[in-house]
Amino acid sequence: MSTTTAPKASRSQEPRRKAAVTDRERTENSLARKLVAPAIVLMLFVTAFPMLRALYLSLFSYSLTAPDDREFVGLSNYWTALSDELFWRDTGNTVMIMLVTVFFELVIGFAFALVMHRLIFARGLVRTSILIPYGVITVVSGFAWQFAFSNSNGFVNGWLPFIGDDFNWFAQYDSSMIAIMASEIWKTTPFMSLLLLAGLAQVSEDMIEAAKVDGATWFQRLYKVILPNMKAAIMVAVLFRALDAYRIFDNIFVMTAGANGTESISFLTYRQVIEQFQLGIGSALSVLLFLSVLVVAFVIVKVFRVNLADARQES
């Protein structure tokens, strides 16, 4: 990925360094490698190595409860997964969760960011509060919302008009999904709003003032001046959150355990590997999950032309 660029500090030294002796360059290179090595080794040990192993295992029919029956089956695990309606249903669920939650987080998060940006009082209080959902464990958020929606111990049914007190949110697909997404949106909107706040801070006040003087309405200023100027921040926030939402697992595990067709692709993979001990097909799903994340990342980067370098204001 060519979206990362060298930091300023080192770039400014380039001309001087070019002229410097190669000895120094060599020392610097070797020091840098030593400094970076532990991080690289550790990151690859826990990701690349297992991923390669998953790639290998995915070619076998292999169940942990019958290890002696392990058998090479080529690509047939991939065929089984890709031709299964369950795989596509869960992928569909995951994509829907991703789109809906990111949309709401973006809208609500932007509103929150505007409030925080203009805030003249209670700054500390608001910022402290907004960090609490971010810090709350996802599992706790899942429980809080599950109990809130529960018809025996929750308050949502009592507060919402047009909803009977007996209504069971977890009895069917639509309402279960709403509950899951409510928890997801609640927990992650603050994160989104902080990223957007940083973006807002980059929009020059002079430009807004100038637009004001020209007689632009509030909406015109928003669409013509503010949003275009913080596009990079928005896109980075969307990229990060979308990839995070695509991996949704905790909330589903806690709230429905996949009942009523509310499984995500992560949950499906987890069940094959950890609950059913089907390491063969489970590994194939792991590989597919990884590939699909790459596809999502690629699509977002290409379609929205996210430029991480832009976000760093270094372009």
Partner 1 sequence: MALTGKNKDRVQRGGMVLGVALVLGWCLLPVVWIISLSFKSQAAVTNGSPGFFPSSGGGAGWDNYRDLLFDDQYAQFRRSILNSIGISLIATILSVAIATLAAYAIARLDFKGKKFVLTTALVIAMFPVVSLVGPLFDMWRTIGLYDTWPGLIIPYMSFTLPLAIWTLSAFFREIPWEMEQAAQVDGATQWQAFRKVIVPLAAPGVFTAAILTFFFAWNDFVFGISLTSTEAARPIPASLSFFVGNDPFNRPASLLAAGAVVATVPIVILVLFFQRKIVAGLTAGAVKG
Partner 2 sequence: MRVRPTAGPRQLAVATSLVLAGTLLTACGGGDGKPTLNWYINPDGQDTLNQLAEDCSTDDYDIEIQLLPASATDQRTQLARRLAAGDSSTDLMSLDPVFVPEFASAGWLEPFTGDLADEVLDDDVLEGAAQTVQWDDQVVAAPQWSNTQVLWYRKSLAEAAGLDMNQPVTWGEVIDAAASQDATVGVQANKYEAYVVWINALIQGAGGNILDPDTVEDGRDAKVTIDSDAGKAAAAVIQKLADSGAAQPDFTTSNEGTSLGQMYPDDGPGEFMTNWTFVYQNYAGAVGEAGGPPDEAALDDLGWARYPQTVAGEDSAPPIGGITIGVGAFSDNVDFAQEAAVCITSSEAQTQLAVNEGLMPSRQSVYDSDALKEAYPADLLELWRDSVDTGGPRPKSAYYSQISSAIQSRWHPPTSVDPNTTPKRSAEFLRQILSGEALL
> What does the buried/exposed string (b/e) look like for 32-60 if buried means 16 or more CB atoms within 10 Å of the residue's CB?
eeeeeeeeeeeeeeeeeeeeeebeebbbb
Number of H helices, E strands in the chain: 17, 2
- Establish if 276 lies at the interface with partner 2 (CB under 8 A): yes
- Establish if 81 lies at the interface with partner 2 (CB under 8 A): yes
- Establish if 103 lies at the interface with partner 1 (CB under 8 A): no
CA distance 197 to 111: 10
**Whose Cβ is closer to partner 2: residue 133's or residue 261's?**
261
**Whose Cβ is closer to partner 1: residue 30's or residue 220's?**
30
Residues 255-294 that bind partner 1 (CB under 8 A): 266-267, 269-270, 273-274, 279, 282-283, 285-287, 289-290, 293-294
Residue 45, CB-side half-sphere exposure with 13 Å CA sphere = 6
Torsion of CA 114, 117, 119, 122, to 10 degrees: 110
- Could you tell me which stretch among 70-78, 85-93, 193-201, 209-217 binds partner 1 (CB under 8 A)? 193-201
- Quick check: 246 and 293 in contact, CB under 8 A? yes
Give the angle subtended at the CA of 227 by the CAs of 125 and 203, to the nearest 5°. 65
- Which of 66, 122, 131, 295: binder of partner 2 (CB under 8 A)? 66
Single-letter amino acid, residue 107:
V
Q: How far is the CB of 259 from partner 2 (least distance, A)?
A: 4
- Which of 46, 96, 295, 299: binder of partner 1 (CB under 8 A)? 46
- Which of 8, 86, 107, 305: binder of partner 1 (CB under 8 A)? 8
- Which of 46, 122, 131, 171: binder of partner 2 (CB under 8 A)? 171
CA distance 289 to 247: 9
- Establish if 141 lies at the interface with partner 1 (CB under 8 A): yes
Q: Applying CB under 8 A, which residues contact partner 2?
A: 61, 64-67, 80-81, 84, 86-87, 151-152, 166, 168, 170-172, 257-260, 268, 271-272, 274-278, 281, 285
